[in-house]
A and B are shown apart, each in its own frame.
Chain A
Amino acid sequence: MSDKLKINDFVVRFANVNGTGSASANLLFCKAIFRMGIPVTPKNIFPSNIQGLPTWYEVRVSEKGYLGRRDGIDLMVAVNAQSMEADIKSVRPGGYLLYDSSKKLPDHYRRDDIYFIPIPLMEICNETYTDARLRLLFKNIIYVGALAELMQFDFSVFESLLGDQFKGKEKLIAPNLNALKLGSDFIKANYRGTFDLKVERRDLLKDAIMTDGNSACGLGAIYGGATFAAWYPITPSTSVVEAFMEYADEFREEKETGKRKVAIIQAEDELAAIGMVIGANWNGARAFTATSGPGLSLMNEFLGLAYFAEIPLVLIDVQRTGPSTGMPTRTQQSDILEAAYASHGDTRHILLFPSTPKECFDLTATAFDLSEQLQTPVILMTDLDLGMNDHISEPFSWDDSKEYQRGKVLDYDDLEEIERFGRYLDVDNDGITYRTIPGTHPTKGSFFTRGTSRDEYAAYTENSPAYQRNMDRLVKKWITAREYVPSSQLYQVENNSEYGILFFGTSQYAAEEAMDMLKEEKFLVDGLRIKSFPFDQIAIDFLQSHKYIFIVEQNRDAQMKSLIMIELGISAEKLISVLNYDGLPITATNIVHQITHSLERVEKYTTV
């Protein structure tokens, strides 16, 4: 019945009750594997709830470095009675179930094709601890200890991890180590069955860090020079501004006065949040907001104003699942069209697509440069998976020689030189005009910013040619923007195949793995990861030079495919969608399955 030994290659899922302290125990398990130098990726599958509902934490361990979700649960740690029956059913045949055996498992829960590992967690806790809260918290640590024993962890890793976690609260270390030992001792003494999921120390991660994208965005905003943030709390973007606040406490205090080199306002709604950010950017401060789909919908009118009045702003959209409220705690890439064309009238917005925490950091900082250089909103399109889950990532780095790119802003001396300032005068013939910041010069450079049509000198006009000239200039600016935005990533020097696979954001993890799986099946595909909209020349060439392109995206309506068709006029026959929209991160097997399936259809179609 037993499969061959699976070293550093398996999936563990923890089934817990929300609000019982399981998150930190599960993270401890995950972090221990990370510290042993093995690629690991956790996914928190949590409810829109504070306490009581089922929550899952899935950890994939992959020596090969595949960091996407993987189908098939090798081991279920089932400590939630509510979801127990379904949890047991979800284990793959030949897999394991570790469960709290303090209460007898109902007979009909039993399966013959998986191994049961009983631990009386509650009984152990009740014997060891008198405090009700400790009983609840240490129950989780005890199962981590049991797992560590089963998987043959190097126990010293816990000592250093707990040492770091409880720096300043050292007296908490020993009780935690003790709880781990309770679990490990129980397994040693009682479990005699098979167990073939093992962890072996490796040195595969070098200087990698493990963090979530939202914190990285918050830090990126600090490095990018944001001095103002306005926001309205919404899952899953809340922790972006919370991280910004924490880093601001550390880095933005004026030493001499104790005053702050930042202002952060919790607005009354998303409309006010983006309105404030527009006001601050208009007045020359780098400012940003963070939101998710419902907030983006509310911000549409203001995004149109910022586009038309040409005011820089940075918006971080941490996408979640569905229209309306949808599934607020699940992931998706379904705001693409909404963001690209936000607002009524003719508008287009710059989008950036990070894939890793390092890119969240880099691209957030870059977004401030881009938005000021191009005097328009820049929207960072991240998602719940990237934003709220921990990811292994390259460490953060910063080039100290790099200056902030503030774009075409006229200062006092510039204005002295100019006879007549025209805010919307295309002096350099690149569609980007010069702006002034209020308060710069006593007699020159003031103008009226407005969402109504105006001429080159910012004067209100209802003159049709003047309106059209301005709209055409905005198109010219859009074309200029292509040279400013980050380039797409190519996975090969030259084309190897007439098939290409195009992906972006968090689909990267599963797509890279899928490319390897297809290669093993002797099917070569060329890969491209898009990092921005407008599409750069590399992406355009890739789309044009392949006969068929699979477009991997995590939404129902193939929004990126639509965007490519609309913007580049690529024919629909060439573009084959690979979609995932169940709210969970896409998996490589899903991609491979969809590609193989559509290939059959393509071949049938082409041979008829």
Chain B
Amino acid sequence: MTFIKPKFRHPDLPKNKLGYTLSYYEGALSTLCAGCGHDSISAAIIQSAFEMNIEPHKLAKLSGIGCSSKTPTYFLGNSHGFNSVHGRMPSVATGANMANKDLIYLGVSGDGDTASIGMGQFVHVIRRNLKMIYIVMNNGCYGLTKGQDSATADNGSISKAGIVNQFQAIDLCGLAIELGATFVAQSFSGDKKQLIPLIKAAMAHNGFAFINVISPCVTFNNNKGSTKSYDFVRGHLEATGTFDFVPEMEEITTTYESGEKHAIKLHDGSLLQFNKLDSDWDPLDRFSAMKAVHQAREKNEIITGLLYLNQGAMDLHELVNTCDRPLNTLKKEDLCPGNGALASINAGLR
């Protein structure tokens, strides 16, 4: 059976500054299970790219293997994509980024792809502060192989087959902060209102931007007793605040309900505004962010929002001091020393 997505769109649909409608940022029809949290994240990515006026060909989407890694087919259909091998997306993204510093790199991974087979690469891409957006669609299980526990499954969580997970969960946000990630956020696939500003802020961040999105697996991990089910997640969400992303030079129109108002100016001049609900926590302070993550874990809560931000660190290009022109645009004249230079090299070898 073939799924064909109708191409017809109403002519009066709103367009962004580039003249593209939202549909221009869509991808092929999803083949994931109906109700999959991942599809909501794809929709949030589409909305974010549309609102951020991103030229589709200036963004490259990369992924590994798994349900989550299939999603780049379902969003940003006019962007180049690379579905690589299991757990190795960070290395491919690193090479791609080194080749052309002018594109936006959006990596999508899952909890198996990141926290198990790809743990090594995840850890090291953070160390290098590669400028990219790294989204984990975290459902605590291996969907494509029918529901085995992943390394982010909580200790004590009960699988669909009724088996209690005996192992400790890996907390990806806590780990990312520990490793020095410069942008760490956590969200829920069902909370579009929070997720979209977070993705937009990640797109504006000059460094490694990590978003761990709890995204329930409706088929294999949505049962009673699972700590990654829709019901459980909704019941245990603890937002650190409400967020709004304001691009540079745009009038601030969002209204806030209550609490302490904050705004962080991002690298490109845009603003991330948020209403802080917890007075102890300061997203610009690593220790306080770590503490907030640990406290939430103790209380069995899922803390969401932008947990930590560090805008002072150099990204990988700055660290290795590459030239301003993208490396993939350099020509023979820029690169080859020519026969003349060989004379002295040869002389030095005699």
Instruction: Give residues in A with beta carbon < 8 Å to B.
Output: 34-35, 207-211, 219, 222-223, 225, 227-228, 230, 251-252, 254, 257-265, 267-269, 271-285, 287, 301-302, 305, 395-400, 403-404, 436-443, 445-452, 459-460
Inter-subunit contact B350/A283 (CB<8 Å) = no
In the complex, what residue of chain B is closest to A219 when comparing beta carbons? B345
Other than the given A275-B84, A446-B80, A447-B81, 6 more pairs (CB < 8 A) read A209-B350, A264-B320, A280-B98, A283-B100, A285-B99, A448-B82
A sample of 29 cross-chain residue pairs with beta-carbon separation below 8 angstroms, ordered by A number, consists of: A35-B350, A207-B346, A209-B350, A210-B350, A211-B349, A219-B345, A251-B341, A254-B323, A258-B321, A260-B321, A263-B322, A271-B91, A272-B91, A272-B124, A274-B91, A275-B92, A280-B99, A280-B327, A281-B95, A282-B92, A282-B99, A283-B95, A395-B349, A436-B80, A438-B57, A438-B80, A446-B79, A446-B81, A451-B83
Given the interface pairs A263-B327, A277-B95, A280-B99, the reply to whether A398 lies near B320 with Cβ below 8 Å is: no
Inter-subunit contact B56/A442 (CB<8 Å) = yes
CA distance A269 to B94 in the complex (A): 14
Inter-subunit contact B339/A399 (CB<8 Å) = yes
Inter-subunit contact A284/B323 (CB<8 Å) = no
Give the interface centre of A208, A222, A278, A400 by most chain B CB atoms within 10 Å: A278
CA distance A514 to B92 in the complex (A): 47
CA distance A219 to B98 in the complex (A): 21
Inter-subunit contact B83/A450 (CB<8 Å) = yes
Contacts of B92 in A (CB 8 A): 275-276, 278-279, 282
In the complex, what residue of chain A is closest to B83 when comparing beta carbons? A450
Give the interface centre of A305, A438, A448 by most chain B CB atoms within 10 Å: A438
CA distance A496 to B121 in the complex (A): 57
Contacts of A222 in B (CB 8 A): 335-337
Inter-subunit contact A209/B100 (CB<8 Å) = no
CA distance A259 to B101 in the complex (A): 14
Inter-subunit contact A275/B332 (CB<8 Å) = no
Inter-subunit contact A223/B80 (CB<8 Å) = no
In the complex, what residue of chain B is closest to A451 when comparing beta carbons? B85
CA distance A271 to B119 in the complex (A): 13
**B102 interface hit (Cβ, 8 Å):** yes
In whole Å, how far is B150's beta carbon from the nearest beta carbon of chain A? 20
Instruction: Give residues in B with beta carbon < 8 Å to A.
Output: 28, 55-58, 60, 62, 72-73, 78-85, 88, 90-100, 102-103, 120-121, 123-124, 128, 316-317, 320-324, 327-328, 330, 332, 334-339, 341-342, 345-346, 349-350
In the complex, what residue of chain A is closest to B341 when comparing beta carbons? A251
Contacts of B96 in A (CB 8 A): 279-280, 282-283, 438
Contacts of A460 in B (CB 8 A): 73
CA distance A280 to B320 in the complex (A): 15
Inter-subunit contact B95/A228 (CB<8 Å) = yes
Inter-subunit contact B91/A225 (CB<8 Å) = no
In whole Å, how far is B48's beta carbon from the nearest beta carbon of chain A? 19
Give the interface centre of B79, B317, B323 by most chain A CB atoms within 10 Å: B323
Contacts of B73 in A (CB 8 A): 448, 460
Inter-subunit contact A395/B342 (CB<8 Å) = yes
In whole Å, how far is A587's beta carbon from the nearest beta carbon of chain B? 26
In the complex, what residue of chain A is closest to B91 when comparing beta carbons? A275
Given the interface pairs A210-B350, A438-B60, the reply to whether A272 lies near B88 with Cβ below 8 Å is: yes
Contacts of B128 in A (CB 8 A): 265
Inter-subunit contact A400/B91 (CB<8 Å) = no
Contacts of B81 in A (CB 8 A): 446-450
CA distance A281 to B327 in the complex (A): 11
In the complex, what residue of chain B is closest to A257 when comparing beta carbons? B323
Contacts of A261 in B (CB 8 A): 322-323, 327, 330, 334-335
Inter-subunit contact B346/A265 (CB<8 Å) = no
In whole Å, how far is A272's beta carbon from the nearest beta carbon of chain B? 4
Inter-subunit contact A263/B339 (CB<8 Å) = no
User: Given B85, B98, B341, which contacts A228 in the complex, CB threshold below 8 Å?
Assistant: B98
User: Given B90, B322, B346, which contacts A209 in the complex, CB threshold below 8 Å?
Assistant: B346
User: Given B58, B82, B327, which contacts A262 in the complex, CB threshold below 8 Å?
Assistant: B327
In the complex, what residue of chain A is closest to B82 when comparing beta carbons? A449
Contacts of B337 in A (CB 8 A): 222-223, 251
CA distance A442 to B80 in the complex (A): 11
In the complex, what residue of chain A is closest to B102 when comparing beta carbons? A439
In whole Å, how far is A159's beta carbon from the nearest beta carbon of chain B? 15
Inter-subunit contact A257/B324 (CB<8 Å) = yes
CA distance A440 to B326 in the complex (A): 13
Given the interface pairs A227-B327, A251-B337, A283-B60, the reply to whether A263 lies near B98 with Cβ below 8 Å is: yes
Contacts of B123 in A (CB 8 A): 268
In the complex, what residue of chain A is closest to B121 when comparing beta carbons? A272
Contacts of B321 in A (CB 8 A): 258-260
Inter-subunit contact A439/B103 (CB<8 Å) = yes
In whole Å, how far is B193's beta carbon from the nearest beta carbon of chain A? 30
CA distance A223 to B62 in the complex (A): 31
User: Given B83, B85, B99, B349, which contacts A302 in the complex, CB threshold below 8 Å?
Assistant: B85
Given the interface pairs A276-B95, A438-B57, the reply to whether A396 lies near B330 with Cβ below 8 Å is: no
In the complex, what residue of chain A is closest to B323 when comparing beta carbons? A259
Given the interface pairs A210-B349, A211-B349, the reply to whether A279 lies near B94 with Cβ below 8 Å is: yes
User: Given B56, B93, B124, which contacts A279 in the complex, CB threshold below 8 Å?
Assistant: B93
Inter-subunit contact A259/B345 (CB<8 Å) = no
Contacts of B345 in A (CB 8 A): 219, 396
